Amino acid sequence: MFSLAHITQIIHDWLYSSFDPTLALIIECAIVILVAIGIFAVLGLVLVLMERKVAAHIQIRLGPNRVGPGGMFQTVADTLKLIMKEGLTPDLADKFLFNLAPFLVMIVAMLLLAPIAFAKGVQIWDINIGVLYISAVSSLSVIGILMAGWASNNKYSLLGAMRSGAQIVSYELSAGFSILTIVVLTGSLRLSDIIASQENGWWIFKGHIPVIIAFILFIIAATAETNRAPFDLAEAESELTAGFHTEYSGMRFALFFLAEYINIFIVCAIGATLFLGGWMPLHIGGWEGFNHLMDYIPSSFWFIGKTFFLIFLIMWFRWTFPRLRVDQLLNLEWKYLLPISLINLLLVTVIAIMGWYF
């Protein structure tokens, strides 16, 4: 299988042979930061355009079609507009926290990129507690949202932030239990080990019905955690204008807007890694000819294809289902999803102990 590991190794060896080890490490970190910022910028442009095109297709209309071929430069024009807009701060707002909140949300999103394997041999940090790292760091984003809502000194912002906090904290439980099903089956928290365990088949196929249930629960919880419709109570336009970022404008609003789409990409990348093999091609145990043929497709194509398939699912949800009420949203988690997750985790544990998976 084509791997990019040798390219990263060549860069690493050249830096350490040409510079002092400390300076080489600093340069490596700078390169990683620049690449991460570039990924953020490209994903923001691509995902916003994709959202508009998917919405247009579902609603039987064209979507953006004026700026550039097929409207592909519409998001570039919108970005330039946001850059040129003046950033306003309310007089009675807590200015330090108000300005800090969007940067905190973006920093959390950037930290979550570290353990994700984008292709074979392309991973910023293969930490041995990758799953725990993702669960811990992702929970910090709610702090930025609560900070933005409180510091804005706006009742709509505060109400939206409190809704978001309750929603994210609630649905983190179901998402965590869904992730634990794969941890139980693989016996490892390292993402590279989880990907390697799917060499003879993705877990969604070889883990039986409990893993399919865990996958469905994960997608629902991930949609809720990213404040996406039908769970977008935190920024319900008909009730709260724009929710926790009502008072934000210019680039500070753009950071919140970008963070939402980056978080969608991250949760879908995690779902693709845990349940669909990440960059691992579709392999079937005993089908050596078929497996060898699948290996000709670059690993990065597999990862991008799986991730964008899950992103499409989440966008499909948004433009299909109506928004829930707050009580319905919390009842869904505490009365239905959480008990199902607990029972499902118990079933997966039995399957792992008995070795009943493929």
Give the residue extent of every domain in the chain. 88-354
pTM of the complete model beyond 0.85? yes
In the numeric block, the tokens 């693989």 are attached to: 186
Integer Cα distance of 235 and 167 in angstroms: 12
Average pLDDT over the chain, rounded to an integer:
88
Q: How do the pLDDT tens digits run along the chain, 358 residues long?
A: 566 667 778 888 888 888 888 898 899 889 888 988 888 889 989 999 999 999 999 999 988 998 888 888 999 998 888 888 888 888 888 889 999 999 999 999 989 988 999 988 888 888 999 999 999 999 888 899 899 999 998 888 888 888 888 898 899 999 999 999 999 999 999 999 999 999 888 999 888 899 999 999 999 999 998 888 788 887 776 667 777 888 888 888 888 888 889 999 999 999 999 999 999 998 887 788 888 888 888 888 999 999 999 999 999 988 888 888 888 989 999 999 999 999 999 999 998 888 877 6
Q: What is the DSSP letter of 153?
A: T
Task: Give the tokens for residue 349.
Answer: 């544990």
Burial degree of 49 (CB within 10 A; 0-12, 13-18, 19+): buried
- The alpha carbon of 294 is separated from its chain's Cα centroid by a whole number of angstroms, namely 26
What's the pLDDT at 218?
96
**CA–CA gap between residue 262 and residue 251 (Å, rounded):** 16
Cα(89)–Cα(322) distance, rounded to whole angstroms? 33
Task: Locate 101 and state its tokens.
Answer: 């909140």
Could you write out the DSSP letters of every residue in 76-131?
HHHHHHHHHS-----TTS-HHHHHHHHHHHHHHHHHTTTT-EEETTEES---TTHH
> Which residues, 6 or more positions from 151, have their beta carbon under 8 angstroms from its beta carbon?
93, 94, 95, 96, 97, 98, 101
Among residues 258, 246, 248, 178, the alpha carbon closest in space to that of 211 is found at: 178
**Cα angle for residues 119, 116, 49 (degrees, 5° grid):** 80
CA-to-CA separations, 87 to 37, 81, 98, 160, in angstroms, rounded: 22, 12, 12, 21
* Beta-strand relationship, 117-119 and 122-123: antiparallel
